[in-house]
Amino acid sequence: MDAIILQFLNGLDKGSAYALIALGLTLIFGTLGVVNFAHGALFMIGAFCSVTVQRILTLSTETLSETQKDFLGNPLKIKTPYVESWFGPEVGAAIIDWSVPLAILLAIPVMLIVGFVMERGLIKHFYKRPHADQILVTFGLAIVLQEVIKYFYGANPIPTPAPAAFVGSFDFGPLLGLDTSLAYPYWRLVYFAFSAVIIGAVFAFLQFTTFGMVVRAGMADRETVGLLGIDIDRRFTIMFGIAAAVAGLAGVMYAPINSPNYHMGMDFLVLSFVVVVVGGMGSLPGAVLAGFMLGILESLASMNEVKNILPGIDQIIIYVVAIVILLTRPRGLMGRKGVMEE
């Protein structure tokens, strides 16, 4: 029982990453009708925002120590990060420690700009072209972005630790009235809460603001909204930026869970496409639901009890579920009628 709960919790944070990426993907698809294969790359760029902030904050001056000597007898070089010399050692160390959450501040403008540039510079020209072309050009873009990151940051994963306050695990055991302990890392809880907030914010933005209302109207019938004298293209561009930011934020906070490397985007991309299709192309609640569902299923399938009966099921369960759902419910779990139907 406790193993099931633990796997369920494990599934939640993987599911939240899937849900966030899939949410952005389906947002882009629902508004612009573009299949964005570069969305995984946006997730990866977000994760590298964390790395960048960490690197910027740890930029250091080197001073020669007066007391300590290295083994050759030369004065030891001591690195002092600039932030520590500016704000004093304690505050400075705290700032460096919190570099991942601070990276959110950098990631939001960066991702919005990346999104705008991508939409205006490239994707805009592909609205009238077939879906296959859109897939191909964004696939090419994903390769380019990935290689650019690889050029600047190298091919190895770069560890980006979470703040010290979140290191360690929370014990769910006593909370649920179980005797056994159910240790669960704090940062994963933070990640889940964070993604819940983002998902909530996106839905609230679409549901309760005038801007969101116009966007929803545009998703339903783009032409009519345009005829009413509303510049729907500009709003859709902004939505592309927001979708990019959502993927980026998912990446920023995911950095402590998995050290960012240049191909993490591609790894997530395939799965998040499966998530979108299972949830139903163009359906936002579907994407979130399918994201969590598949994440949790994947976790549950990796339990030893399940693996003993069906070895390796954890690696193929998502695809099996996707194939079954696509064949039984062709529009996905919550797909709308008339979206992507030839």
Partner 1 sequence: MFGLKKHDSRLFIVVAVLALAAPFLLNPFPDGSAMAQFNAGYPDLMQRFVIFGIFAIGFNLLFGLTGYLSFGHAAFLGLGSYGAVWMFKLLSMNIIPAIVLSVIVAGVFALIIGYISLRRSGIYFSILTLAFAQMMFAIAYSDLIGRFVGTPITNGETGLQLALDDPRVLGISATPDGSIPLTNLFGLEMRSVFNLEVGGWLFTFSFGYYVCAVVMLLSFYVAIRIFRSPFGLMLRAVKSNQQRMNYTGLNTRPYTLAVFVISGMYAGLAGGLMASMDPLAGAERMQWTASGEVVLMTILGGAGTLIGPVLGAGFIKYFENIFAKINDNVLHSWFAFMPDGLEDLMVTIVHPFVGKGWHLTLGIMFMLVVIFLPGGLVEGGQRIGRLFRRRDDKATSVESDAAEQRKPAAE
> Contact residues for partner 1 (CB under 8 A)?
35, 122, 125, 129-133, 135-137, 139-141, 143-144, 146-148, 150-151, 266, 270, 273-274, 277, 281, 311-312, 315-316, 319-320, 322-323, 326-327, 330, 340, 342
Beta bridge partners of 63: 78
| 230/266 with CB nearer partner 1 | 266
What distance, in Å, lies between the first and last C-alpha atoms of the chain? 46
73 vs 130, which CB is nearer to partner 1? 130
- 163 vs 280, which CB is nearer to partner 1? 280
The residue among 1 and 327 lying less far from partner 1, judged by its C-beta, is: 327
Distance CA 339, CA 30 (A): 8
Output 171 or 314, the one with its CB closest to partner 1. Answer: 314
At CB < 8 A and 24+ separation, what contacts does 115-122 make?
A: 115/42, 115/240, 115/241, 115/242, 115/243, 115/244, 115/245, 116/237, 116/238, 116/240, 116/241, 118/38, 118/240, 118/244, 119/32, 119/236, 119/237, 119/240, 119/241, 120/237
With respect to partner 1, which residue has the nearer C-beta, 112 or 340?
A: 340
Residue indicated by tokens 């946006």: 42
Nearest-approach distance from CB 314 to partner 1, in angstroms? 9
Q: Are 205 and 199 in contact, with CB atoms under 8 Å apart?
A: no
Least Å from the CB of residue 159 to partner 1: 22
Q: In the bound complex, what is the minimum distance in angstroms from residue 291's beta carbon to partner 1?
A: 15
Residue 258 phi/psi, 5-degree rounding, is -130, 120
The dihedral through the CA atoms of 23, 28, 31, 34 has a sign that is: negative
Q: What's the min distance (Å) between Cβ of 82 and partner 1?
A: 27
How near is the Cβ of 177 to partner 1 at its closest, in Å? 37
Whichever of 89 and 330 has its CB closer to partner 1, that residue is: 330
Q: CB 243 → partner 1: shortest distance, Å?
A: 17
67 phi/psi in degrees, rounded to 5: -95, -45
Q: What is the DSSP track for 219-256?
A: HH-HHHHHHTT--HHHHHHHHHHHHHHHHHHHHHHHTT
Give least dist CB 10 to partner 1, A.
19
Question: What is the distance between the alpha carbons of residues 180 and 164, in angstroms, rounded to a whole number?
Answer: 26
Q: Report the C-alpha gap between 180 and 265 in whole angstroms.
A: 37
Q: Least distance from C-beta 87 to partner 1, angstroms? A: 36
Closer Cβ to partner 1, 11 or 185, answer by number: 11
